[in-house]
Structure formats: structure tokens, C-alpha cells
Amino acid sequence: MTTTQLHRPPLAPPPRWAVRAAHVTALLTLPSGIWRLLLAAGFTAGYTEAGYEAMGFTGWGAVYVVALSALGELLALLTLGLVRPWGEVLPPWIPLVGGRRPNPRAVTLAAGLGAGALTLILSQLALWWAFPAPDMTPLGHTVVGVLYLPLVAWGPLLAAVTVDHHRRRRAGRGRRPSTGGAAAGLDGR
């Protein structure tokens, strides 16, 4: 005997703070990403000439920093899926999984693990100014610190949006489609 779920009730709409937090998260990676793109384009962007050459931002190094910027922005944009309809049903243009609902537990687990990892890794950026950077100019070191500082908030914001998504999912699971009367919305509402 197989059981199919014919109707899954939609999630409650996300609170305004969660939508804003998701949008802010998507913007957090832009300053550091733009800085890396400048490096790939050949600008020293705060490095001394010798420091820039030592870091190897040409050739495959340029490909690496462009890919890192694109990947960071893509991952940050995925946070929007926790508050947008396309996070409930994957867009049809995605190969193999388009049009399907993602597994809610997998989404919550991936987002939660991502939030934890980002918090652990990126919280160190708050200490940027405590460490010398001999391969950077003093102004460049300060500017890069300012550009990377927003990333410290990425993990905590993702965690907050993930918890909200999980709570809305759990609340939505408890609802059952009704079969008639006022409860079914036939009372003129």
C-alpha cells in the first residue's frame, strides 16, 4: 500500500524581519566579492605591488577569486529561498529537480549547518585589525577590513532565518485541509 500526499498546506508567510534578514544576507557578500573582482581584473586593491604579485591573482589565481566571489554570492542568495515561494517548489528550469518540493529536513539541516560553519569561519574577520598585513598598504588593510566585516553577520542572520523557516514548516505540518462548512472558508471570507 502506498500513501501519497495530495495536498501540503502552504507555509505561513514569513515575518517581515525574516524577509529583510534574508535580503540583507544576500547583500553581505557584495563588498568583499567586488573587491576580489578588482583583484582579478589586475588592480592591487590595497596590496603593495610585491604583495599583489606574491598572492598570485593572475591566471588561475584570477579564476579562483572570481569563482569564490560567484560562489559566495550564490550561497548568500540561497537564503532567499527560505522566505520566497521558489524555496517551496524549485523552479522548473533547474535540471533533474525542477518543479519538485525540496525535502524540508534537508533544507533545514543544510541551512543550519551552513549557518554554523559561516559563524565559526567568518567571526574571525571581526579581529582583522588585530593582525598585521605586511603585504598590504595601511589604508588597503583598513579598507579590506571594512569590506569583509559585513560577512561576520552572515552566519547569525542565516541562522535566524533558518529557525523562522523551521518554525513555519512545523506549524504548517500541524494544519489539516478542512472538508466543509465555515472552517473551509465557505462563510464568505
Q: What is the 3-state secondary structure (H, E, C) of the chain?
A: CCCCCCCCCCCCCCCHHHHHHHHHHHHHCHHHHHHHHHHHCCCCCCECHHHHHHHCCCCHHHHHHHHHHHHHHHHHHHHHHHCCHHHCCCCCCCCCCCCCCCCHHHHHHHHHHHHHHHHHHHHHHHHHHHCCCCCECHHHHHHHHHHHHHHHHHHHHHHHHHHHHHHHHHHHHHCCCCCCCHHHCCCCC
pLDDT tens digits for 3-22? 444 455 667 899 999 999 99
Task: Quote the CA–CA distance of 128 and 96 in Å, as a whole number.
Answer: 42
Cα dihedral value 62, 72, 156, 11, nearest 10: 180
Q: What is residue 171's predicted lDDT score, i.e. its pLDDT?
A: 81
Residue 184 has pLDDT above 50, yes or no: no
User: What band does 28 get if pLDDT is binned at 50, 70 and 90?
Assistant: very high
Q: Using 50, 70 and 90 to split pLDDT, how confident is the model at 76?
A: very high
